[in-house]
Amino acid sequence: MSEVTLIRVFVRGPRDRNDVFHANGTLRADMAERAIGGNPVPLVADARGMTASDMQGIAASYGHESAFVLPSERGCDWRLRFFVPQHEMEMCGHATVGTLWALRQWGEWTQPTATIETLSGVVLARWDEAEQRVWISQPEVRLDTLSPSDSARVATQLGLPADGYAAVNASTSRVKTLIELPSVEALDGLTPDFGTMASLCESIGSTGLYPYAFGGVRQDGKRIVHARQFPKSSGYPEDAATGIAAAALWGYLARRDTRGQSPLASIAVWQGDTMGSPSEILVAPRHSELGEPAGCWLSGNVAWSHP
């Protein structure tokens, strides 16, 4: 069996602590050593010779999204495959960020940019030397507003009253269903019906529900949006940090709040608090060489996961 390295991606301190970051938002070294929060990623740096069954077995044994590095078949720097306990995924944002960060630490990635082959397409990556972070690209969002009856079903699935909520399917890589709540307290108090989550998501063409609520503002001015993710059939009921869902949320808010006139400013998506694994996903606008909006960049703090 190939060697597995554990990392934690999108790590953040608790909501009531402001002393875990430097002024520029990077994690303090002593906090990184304790690997506060974030989403764990079992990572295999050389998955050559492994079968899909082998890879899924590792994901099942750890109970988390797992990443596997392979030579690219399309001329990219690397090919990444992602597995959860139940199946393979086309794309996993936090696992991509974490894998590239680890490759940087190991000296395997030394250039300022990289291209990554995934089942969802080619992902662009850049290294932020100043903040020691990886940023990965996500394309323009695709949106599909759900009918009032389906929105009511989503609300009921989350333990909310059926009336008064509008849900939207949004995707940059995989479809997530967004639903805005009036407060962080309402978000924290959700009581989803996990027994029928898969069938509900299947019926609306979604891979997971992503309720969210607006919060405060970081010291650097980034707006905080709190969120939770309840996947359709990953093999666990809730996800501590979901990069592609945060990207879809940013894309939706950019369309809704600016009506396409100008890109939304960067945001910080806070997730995982109710799981005891606080996470922060940074999302920033991305532009083409001509200066046109071209989706977004995803980033966040990464740390080695210690037993």
Please count the residues of the chain.
307
Taking alpha carbons only, the member of 18, 55, 11 closest to residue 33 is 11
Taking alpha carbons only, the member of 227, 230, 181 closest to residue 204 is 230
Token pair for 94: 């936090």
In angstroms, what CA-CA distances link 113 with 100, 106, 127, 196, 286?
Answer: 10, 16, 6, 42, 15
Is the alpha carbon torsion for 144, 149, 152, 156 positive or negative? Answer: negative
For residue 281, the surrounding DSSP H or E stretch is strand 279-287
3-state SS assignment for residue 259: coil
DSSP string, 94-149: HHHHHHHHHHHHTTS--SSEEEEEETTEEEEEEEETTTTEEEEEE---EEEEPPHH
For residue 215, the surrounding DSSP H or E stretch is strand 208-217
Cα dihedral 205→294→300→130 (10° resolution): 170
Taking alpha carbons only, the member of 15, 14, 3, 22 closest to residue 66 is 3
Gap between the Cα atoms of 155 and 97, Å rounded: 31
Active-site positions read 65
Residue identified by tokens 């998501």 is 201
CA angle 179, 96, 134 (to 5 degrees): 100
